[in-house]
Amino acid sequence: MEMKDIEIKDVSLRYGETSVYEHFSLTIETGKITCLLGASGCGKTTLLNMLAGLVPYEGKIGNVPPRISYIFQEERLLPNLTVRQNIAFVLGKNADRDKISALLEKVELSGKENAYPSELSGGQAQRVSIARAFAYPSALILMDEPFSSLDTALKIRLMDVFCRLWEEEKRTAVFVTHDAEEAYMLSHRAVLLGGGRVEADFREETPVPRAYGRESEYKQKILSAMLAGGGR
């Protein structure tokens, strides 16, 4: 079945007396990687959680697929399960040993199938999280700052891993970050949030991942909007 764009229409959400969103609307394009930027507390993660159905809201969010993968800043692996078992867990009876092995090879973890999370480095654990997200047959992937705790070299490698997997099926993805460089490297669209509304909205259709540190009009637009106070 063909995926439709996700439509967020006239959505409001409050925490007690604090308004996070009031009559907020946004279209998330199918088959693209959309980045959400903005200052801490502006509602980026809250928007992911609304898409995932984890928090109540008023208004309508339409065309959200029934199956969703979520990649967090921390890896959130089950400590008592091996790498292979962590991936198989989300598949239940549909777990295919050969497919899991092929996926682990793609994320450069062949030979780590029987390792436990405590035996992995931070980068290896996050690769398992990425593999688990793509193993699950979801049409939407939500990512909440999955690269923010990693050093630059490892971040670039994991972005490359993510994009190679994304390229195979081009699932819709929504990616939260504070980093303009990450947004430039990984996204087709950058949406800057602030005050419960869209402060700026930019698009770039060149292939991802883009080279770290390269000059780009897309990146400059993102940086300029952030420096101008968007997202505060």
Residue in the block written with tokens 């029934």: 66
**Residues contacting residue 200 through CB under 8 Å, at least 6 positions apart:** 190, 191, 192, 221, 222, 225, 230
* CA–centroid distance for 220 within its chain: 22
Domain segments of the chain: what residues?
Answer: 1-67+140-148+167-217
State which H helix or E strand residue 102 sits in: helix 97-106
- pLDDT 10s digit of each residue in the chain, 232 long? 578 999 999 999 999 889 999 999 999 999 999 999 999 889 999 999 999 999 999 999 999 999 999 999 888 999 999 999 999 999 998 889 999 999 999 999 999 999 999 999 999 999 999 999 999 999 999 999 999 888 899 899 999 999 999 999 999 999 999 999 999 999 999 999 999 999 999 999 999 999 999 999 999 999 999 998 755 4
State which H helix or E strand residue 48 sits in: helix 44-51
Q: Are 103 and 87 a contacting pair, CB within 8 Å?
A: yes
Superfamily of domain 1-67+140-148+167-217: P-loop containing nucleotide triphosphate hydrolases (3.40.50.300)
What whole-number distance in Å separates Cα of residue 210 and Cα of residue 186?
7
Q: What integer pLDDT is reported at residue 230 of this predicted model?
A: 53
Residue in the block written with tokens 């400059």: 220
Q: What integer pLDDT is reported at residue 93 of this predicted model?
A: 86
Phi, psi of 62 (to 5 degrees): -105, 155
**pTM confidence score:** 0.95
Q: What integer pLDDT is reported at residue 58 of this predicted model?
A: 97
Q: What integer pLDDT is reported at residue 149 of this predicted model?
A: 80
Q: Which residues of 179-214 are buried (b: 16+ CB within 10 A; e: fewer)?
A: bbbbbbbbbbbbbbbbbbebbbebebeeebbbeeee
